[in-house]
Amino acid sequence: MDSFLGINPVALFGQLLVGLINGSFYALLSLGLAIIFGLLRIINFAQGALYMVGAFFAWLGLQHLGINYWLALIVVPVSVGFIGILIERILIRPISNEDHLYGLLLTYGVALVLQGIFTHLFGSSGLPYSIPETLQGGANLGFMYLPTYRAWIIVISLLVCGSTWWVIEKTKLGAYLRAGTENSRILQGFGVNVPLMITLTFGFGVALAGFAGVLAAPIYSVSPDMGANILIVVFAIVVIGGMGSIGGAILTGLLMGIIEGLTKYFYPEASTTVIFLVMVLVLLFKPAGLFGKEL
């Protein structure tokens, strides 16, 4: 392949692809955070840990229960969502009237416990999870080689993010959710069961993390600290995007993945820090975030 202006297109597109994949995970995780934040006004620090739990559940299911990848894509988010429902009902509900910072501290504790349990059980080295047969291999696009599994991640994440956006913005169920975000007390006054809605919303937001965990299992090694590392980046992305809109969370996630990929190609030394630097710039020039409402 010829190079243009000293740019090697194969390597560049390769990094762009990696960036898009990372962006897909960022989008799924920040979407979950945004949905939960909208209704509960807390930032779920356990979101990363539950993503890790999702990956471990996929691994355990395959190893011990014969649950294959496709089944795991359904079973794991449901079970992680169920854990989320328990967390909401048992731990978060009792402090829902306290300062919302306590919610952050509480979920931080939950994250430590989950990460500690899986470190204790499986050690901190990663476990392998093989790509399902139907998604192995790849296609040569001429300018780059595209592994099927990676294309699958991007397509399915966009599909899940897109349909979540559609449900929230365009359907009656979504209208309830948006109304709850605006003013949950008035919504309850109209006879909507808001506490149940909060529980299910938390469960769904967390299930998104579990889903991302299953997607991640075959390409990242399954390890206890995989969640914490990605979550802090997602926090920066949330600050960059602002919590203003569901679509904003998805777009910012993808965009930051791409920026990270480009940085890996042009200046690899900064690839771990570039998203944080973007956050600094956003704080300097648009403190409310790209999609956030003005303070």
Binding site for another protein (CB under 8 A): 37, 42-43, 91, 94-95, 98, 100-102, 104-106, 108-117, 119-120, 228, 232-233, 235-236, 238-239, 269, 272-273, 276-277, 279-280, 283-284, 287, 295
The number of residues making up the chain comes to 295
- Joined together, the tokens standing for residue 172 give 């009656």
The residue (of 160 and 249) whose beta carbon lies closer to another protein is 249
Contact 174, 167 (CB under 8 A): yes
DSSP readout, 53-90? HHHHHHHHIIIII---HHHHHHHHHHHHHHHHHHHIII
Per DSSP, the three-state class of 4 is strand
Using DSSP's 3-state secondary structure scheme, residue 193 falls into coil
Please choose, from the candidates 55, 15, 26, 51, the residue with its C-alpha nearest in 3D space to the C-alpha of residue 221. Answer: 55
Tell me the closest approach of the beta carbon of residue 152 to another protein, in angstroms.
30
CA distance 237 to 43: 13
Q: Alpha carbon of 117 to those of 52, 56, 159, 225: distances in Å? A: 12, 12, 32, 11
- State in angstroms the smallest separation of the CB of 109 from another protein: 3
User: Checking DSSP bridges between strand 138-140 and strand 145-147, what pairing results, if any?
Assistant: antiparallel
CB nearer to another protein: pick between 130 and 273: 273
- The residue (of 119 and 171) whose beta carbon lies closer to another protein is 119
Of 81 and 292, the one with the shorter C-beta distance to another protein is 292
Nearest CA to 277 out of 258, 260, 252 is that of 260
Rounded least distance, CB 198 to another protein, Å: 17
Q: Which is nearer to another protein, 85 or 117 (CB)?
A: 117
Instruction: Give the number of other CB atoms < 10 A from CB of residue 139.
Output: 11
Task: Report the residue number, 82 or 102, with the smaller CB distance to another protein.
Answer: 102
Minimum distance of another protein from residue 295's CB (angstroms): 8
From the CB of 89, what's the least distance to another protein, in Å?
A: 13
Q: What are phi and psi of 29, to 5 degrees?
A: -70, -45
Shortest reach from residue 223's CB to another protein, in Å: 14
Nearer to another protein, 117 or 144 (CB): 117
CB of 94 to another protein, least distance (A): 6
